[in-house]
Amino acid sequence: MDINPRRLVGIQPERVTNVSNTEFPGHYPDEDHSWDLHKFRESLKVRVQRLSRRSIEFDVVGIDASIANAFRRIMIAEVPTVAIEDVYVFNNTSIVQDEVLSHRIGLVPLNINPTKIDTKEPGEQATDRNTLEFKIDMECKHNPAFNKSSLTTNPTPSDKDLYINHELLSSHLVWQPVGEQEERFANYPVKPINPNIVLAKLRPGQAVNMTLHAVKGIGSDHAKFSPVATATYRLHPNIVITKMIPFERAEQFAACFSKGVVKIDERNRKCTVSIDPHHLRNDTVSREVLRHPEFAESVALSRIRDHFIFSVESESAYPPEQLLVEAVNVMHEKITAMKNAALALLNGGIGVAEGDVLMQNAP
């Protein structure tokens, strides 16, 4: 696998080299690096590698770090989700203070399709179009079924044996449909994604009674609105063996890399040490190999600058494979908003709205 050396970020024992992309017009004589959608489409490769119900790993090859980073940032901070924003406490005699409990409740991920509700603008009244209401009403009691005589056989009874409602869980958030919400969410059960999150522990006599309002928001306002647990990318590693690795050192060499990266082939009483291209992506590029003087000259470490391995974990109503699509949609919205503003500037003349720049006075 020969890779254009321009695409590589060199990894030396104490430094990285060729970090920046240089493919801009004017950088290389007689080379055109101006934007070309057709060329871009041809060189672009996007491939999903692994998908589960909660996470996805996909490769994007052929984009600049600024673009990859834009999508990563948007997935974290600008894709909208629904979370609990207002908590009305009518009673809370648990040991968790109102504000701490409210904060914990706010962080509970809800399984609500954000396209089904509108954003509540600041100062706007709560309606069935922009707010979902939940209720918590529970009180912890002694379990009447518990019998003290059972202590002889079981001297350490569990909380579950002793009490009723000893834990306030995310499953205790009960949706209260208002207005047309029942029809609108008929096919989407409105509830927390994970029913087993412990929000508070209770003891007999302690009670919690609250009304909660969930609204749509984005992660840059508060992390509870972030649809992802993690959204990261890393560059694809590239390891080239430049000098043959002697047979007796093969195992030691392989131990310098992540599992499966180095392939030792012992067929035909000859040993060849090579890099397994299928497992290469798993390498952490720890540079351990460069600490061994006997190997330092035998291997060249690098990463591929335009090969991004995205890893995204969804912690929201979005299925993980939907998150990049949502991020692209948000990016499109941002571009459109900026373009309209730029076109308005172009058509409306300069500085008309602001009066900050008076073009006739400029030199």
- Residue from 13, 25, 205, 260 binding another protein (CB under 8 A): 25
- Interface with another protein in residues 211-230 (CB under 8 A): 211, 213, 216, 218, 220
Q: For residues 324 and 59, give the distance between their C-alpha atoms in angstroms, rounded to a whole number.
A: 12
Q: Could you tell me if 280 and 237 are in contact, meaning their C-beta atoms sit under 8 angstroms apart?
A: yes
- Interface with another protein in residues 101-160 (CB under 8 A): 118-119, 121-131, 133
Nearer to another protein, 85 or 298 (CB): 85
- Interface with another protein in residues 320-339 (CB under 8 A): 321, 324-325, 328-329, 331-332, 334-339
Closest CA to 130 of 64, 62, 80: 80
Residues in contact with another protein, counted by CB under 8 A, come to a total of 91
- Interface with another protein in residues 229-258 (CB under 8 A): none
Number of C-beta neighbours around residue 292 at 10 A: 15
Closest CA to 60 of 284, 277, 233: 233
346 binds another protein (CB under 8 A): yes
Q: What is the DSSP string of 222-257?
A: -GGG-SEEEEEEEEEEEEEE-SPPPGGGHHHHHTTS
Q: Could you tell me if 1 and 277 are in contact, meaning their C-beta atoms sit under 8 angstroms apart?
A: yes
Provide, rounded to whole angstroms, the least separation between the CB of residue 150 and another protein: 34
Q: For residues 80 and 227, give the distance between their C-alpha atoms in angstroms, rounded to a whole number.
A: 7
- Residue from 19, 46, 100, 162 binding another protein (CB under 8 A): 46
Q: For residues 117 and 107, give the distance between their C-alpha atoms in angstroms, rounded to a whole number.
A: 19
- Residue from 8, 70, 110, 285 binding another protein (CB under 8 A): 70
- Residue from 30, 183, 248, 356 binding another protein (CB under 8 A): 356
Token pair for 39:
């060329």
Nearer to another protein, 295 or 306 (CB): 306
100 binds another protein (CB under 8 A): no
Segment near another protein (CB under 8 A); pick from 36-44, 135-143, 201-209, 245-253? 36-44
- Interface with another protein in residues 194-213 (CB under 8 A): 194, 211, 213
Q: Could you tell me if 226 and 110 are in contact, meaning their C-beta atoms sit under 8 angstroms apart?
A: no
Nearer to another protein, 51 or 95 (CB): 51
Q: For residues 34 and 338, give the distance between their C-alpha atoms in angstroms, rounded to a whole number.
A: 22
Provide, rounded to whole angstroms, the least separation between the CB of residue 36 and another protein: 9
- First-to-last alpha carbon distance for the chain, in angstroms, is 56
